Amino acid sequence: MDVCSGAAVTARPAPCGSAQQKVDRSMIQIPLNTARPFPPSRPSVGGRLALGMGALLLIPALAACVTTPPEGETDLGLLLLARIQNGSDGSAAGDPTGTATTEALKALVESGTADASTRPQDAALVQAFYAGRGFAPAWTDGTGPTARGQAVRDVLVTAWADAIPDIAVPPVPEAEAGAPVPPAAVARHDLAVTRALATYAGRALQRRVVWAPRIPDGTLGALREIAAENPAAEPPGRLFRLVSDDDRTARLRRGLLRYHALAEGGGWPRVNPDGAKIEPGDRHPDVPLIRARLAVTGDLTDENAGPSASAAVDPTLLDPVLAAAVRRFQARHGLAIDGKVGPQTRAAMAMPADRRLRQMALNLKRLRALPPLPDGRSIEVNIAGAALEGRQDGETVFRTDVIVGMRDRPTPELRSAINQLVLNPTWTVPTSIAEKDILPKLRNDPTYLTSHGFQVFEGWTGGAAELDPSQIDWHAPDVDIRGMRLRQAPGPGNALGEIKFLFPNDHDVYLHSTPSRGLFARSTRTFSSGCVRVRDPLDLATFILDDPGTWTAETLRDRIRAGGTRTVRPGQSIPVSIIYLTAWVAEDGTIHFRRDVYGTDAGDLSTVADLR
């Protein structure tokens, strides 16, 4: 039985700055033009992964989520430049290449000469930036880029992953064998990097979502701490906390870089989505292709597979080793984990690398539109993942499966705070469910309300008289079931189960348990009318109440068995977020994908350009 009104959730509000925000060719990589062995023009897979952490250096500009400065104010891009360059990168302070470089750089900056990619508003910023440091180079010395400079280059060369296009990364300056880089070349390179970084920072800051006030001095002070850290550190401590309260944005960005490398390498073999079902122990000509497909994405590796003698003897056999790899693939794609290559598994294997890459980019954009995870306890429901996670200070400590709304009665995205639990709840049927779901049942079985523990009242006021449902002609065309109030008594058959979890929202939705336990065995769990059904309600309740001296799973169970409806309030309201993610990277590095159950990706992917 569905319990939430479909009418209240006919549209899922897009998160600020996400689904409704256009991205104009914003995911295109600018190749690195270099003739020296710093980053090659097309980094290897390992090189791209290494770029991932370095490329986090400037993501705070995207993730701090503050308003764009009004026209005429000091550009925060310049402040970001200043905070980064003032930190130590292991080189001596001052001008490492001498007065000649400083003079060359001063002449270049003051000449006002700009390349085609420099934004007009950045010219004054760049001049102020260098004037503030006495025109000493910030990113380059006589041997090429410094450690700090290389970290900045790593950011710029992967700017496509931050939805910032057209960043011109300058070639590394050349030098004769055994000789230092000429001062003029150092100056040109340093200025070009600064211009590119100013463009990057400015665009990043303009994209901030308004979740918080303007960057306070404390955050700018934190940037100084970031600049003082080793740019190769993993994770980059202070930066890590600025990007997000958890590291899932950073993890997904690294996953995006990995899949970009796979896509550039040709992706993976395409498995026929319409082929026959293959079960463990079967032989089929598609098995070698499946084996190769799973090897590319790491589901089948030497480490997790071990020797597979049967594959060497008969490569068409779906042997136990390959079946285990299929199960790993199914687990991270939200499919039934049975080791069988059926229609849904084939469809997921057939999805091309370019499509997965765009899916990851879209979900990275969604993550960046979310506010930081709160301190203390919090709850997050992922609609597409059909899962709920309880977190303590951003770390996942509790997880359970959920059932979410049907496509035509979707669960809304929202943020609120759970402020009460109701044990043995009654259920007052929303009018839309009464009309769409219960009235057809009554016309088929006039005893439905009585047999399922419902009372019927003639109206919605507190003093409305109770009616006898057996005396109502439910087949009459003018029967006004919407005008009647239907209330189901607590008990084993109650649609809300034994507990409901309430939080203020405009959609009349909540979390609750359910007597329909069998639906949790389904891999796709879109069966409700908008509310979220929880598989482990007692565990969720003890997590929310956080009072083991009073409330344990056993004491809650005893209270429920005793009967009677009771409201329990936690010591403090617990933040709850309901989000929609179809791609993410788990804490162990596993890349997950889920079906686009509401068709949201299909529309939003048109705003994400081809990343190749």
d(CA 290, CA 22): 37
> Annotated catalytic residue: which of 189, 260, 333, 512?
512
Mean pLDDT computed over 42-70: 33
Residue 610 within any structural domain of the chain: no
pLDDT tens digits along 400-447: 999 999 999 999 999 999 999 999 999 999 999 999 999 999 999 999
Residues 514 and 574 in one domain: yes
Residues 435 and 502 in one domain: no
Residue 607 within any structural domain of the chain: no
Is position 531 annotated as part of the catalytic site? yes
Query: What is the token pair recorded at 324?
Result: 């285990």
d(CA 231, CA 235): 10
pLDDT-based confidence at residue 118 (cuts at 50, 70, 90) = low
pLDDT tens digits along 67-83: 333 333 344 444 445 44
Mean pLDDT computed over 96-105: 80
Tell whether the model's pLDDT for residue 13 goes beyond 50. Answer: no
Residues 238 and 176 in one domain: yes
What global pTM score does this model have?
A: 0.76
Query: What is the token pair recorded at 317?
Result: 């056999």
Q: Are 171 and 144 in contact (CB under 8 A)?
A: no
Residue 1 within any structural domain of the chain: no
Residue 23 within any structural domain of the chain: no
Give Dmax (Cα) for the chain: 101
CA within 13 Å, CB half, 161? 32
Q: Are 152 and 84 in contact (CB under 8 A)?
A: yes
Mean pLDDT computed over 97-118: 77
Query: By 3-state DSSP, what share of the chain in percent is helix, strand and coil, each rounded to 5?
Result: 40, 15, 45
Task: Considering only residues 458 and 155, tell me which one the structure prediction assigns the higher pLDDT.
Answer: 458
d(CA 477, CA 397): 53
| Single residue among 297, 316, 351 that ends a domain in this structure | 351
- Number of domains within the chain: 4
Tell whether the model's pLDDT for residue 393 goes beyond 50. Answer: yes
pLDDT tens digits along 161-204: 777 777 788 888 776 766 788 888 999 998 988 888 777 766 76
Residues 84 and 171 in one domain: yes
Q: What is the pLDDT of residue 230?
A: 58
Residue 118 within any structural domain of the chain: yes
| Amino acid identity at 516 | S
Residue 366 within any structural domain of the chain: no
Percent of the chain with pLDDT over 90: 52
Q: What is the pLDDT of residue 357?
A: 94
Helix (H, G, I), strand (E, B) or coil at 418: strand
Q: How many helices (H) and strands (E) does the chain have?
A: 22, 19
Residues 512 and 575 in one domain: yes
- Name the burial class of residue 306, with classes exposed (0-12), middle (13-18) and buried (19+) by CB atoms within 10 angstroms of its CB: exposed
Residues 339 and 406 in one domain: no
Q: What is the pLDDT of residue 75?
A: 44
Residues 481 and 500 in one domain: no
Helix (H, G, I), strand (E, B) or coil at 580: coil
Q: Are 529 and 406 in contact (CB under 8 A)?
A: yes
> Annotated catalytic residue: which of 333, 507, 531, 592?
531
Residues 153 and 81 in one domain: yes
> Whose CA is closest to 546, among 309, 318, 379?
379
Residues 330 and 277 in one domain: yes
- Name the burial class of residue 602, with classes exposed (0-12), middle (13-18) and buried (19+) by CB atoms within 10 angstroms of its CB: exposed
Q: Tell me the β-bridge partners of 391.
A: 378, 396
Task: Considering only residues 233 and 215, tell me which one the structure prediction assigns the higher pLDDT.
Answer: 233
Residue 181 within any structural domain of the chain: yes
| Structure-token match 């995006």, residue found | 256
pLDDT tens digits along 122-161: 677 777 778 878 898 888 888 888 887 787 787 778 878 7
Residues 208 and 226 in one domain: yes
Tell whether the model's pLDDT for residue 242 goes beyond 70. Answer: no
Residue 363 within any structural domain of the chain: no
**What DSSP line would sit under 258-272, residue for residue?**
HHHHHHHTT--PPPP
Tell whether the model's pLDDT for residue 49 goes beyond 60. Answer: no
pLDDT tens digits along 259-286: 999 999 999 999 999 999 999 999 999 9
Using only C-alpha atoms, the chain has a radius of gyration, in whole angstroms, of 29
Task: Considering only residues 251 and 504, tell me which one the structure prediction assigns the higher pLDDT.
Answer: 504
CA within 13 Å, CB half, 103? 4
Q: What is the pLDDT of residue 611?
A: 56
Query: What is the token pair recorded at 478?
Result: 């003018």
Q: What is the pLDDT of residue 413?
A: 97
pLDDT tens digits along 536-590: 999 999 999 999 999 999 999 999 999 999 999 999 999 999 999 999 999 899 9
Highest mean pLDDT among 35-49, 207-221, 306-320, 516-530: 516-530
pLDDT-based confidence at residue 10 (cuts at 50, 70, 90) = very low
| Structure-token match 């400015």, residue found | 202
Residues 49 and 146 in one domain: yes
Q: What is the pLDDT of residue 117?
A: 55
Residues 125 and 85 in one domain: yes
d(CA 429, CA 435): 10
> How many CB atoms are located within 10 Å of the residue 281 CB?
11
Is position 512 annotated as part of the catalytic site? yes
Q: Are 101 and 108 in contact (CB under 8 A)?
A: no
Mean pLDDT, the chain, integer: 78
Q: What's the DSSP call for residue 435?
A: I
Strand 574-579, strand 377-382: pairing: parallel
* Least-confidence region, from 3-17, 110-124, 387-401, 479-493: 3-17
Task: Considering only residues 424 and 36, tell me which one the structure prediction assigns the higher pLDDT.
Answer: 424
Q: What is the pLDDT of residue 132?
A: 78
Q: By residue range, what is the domain housing residue 523?
A: 373-426+491-581
Alpha helix positions (H), 55-133 = 60-63, 76-86, 99-111, 120-131
> Whose CA is closest to 608, among 391, 346, 358?
358
Tell whether the model's pLDDT for residue 355 goes beyond 90. Answer: yes
Read off the CATH number of the domain in which 335 is found: 1.10.101.10
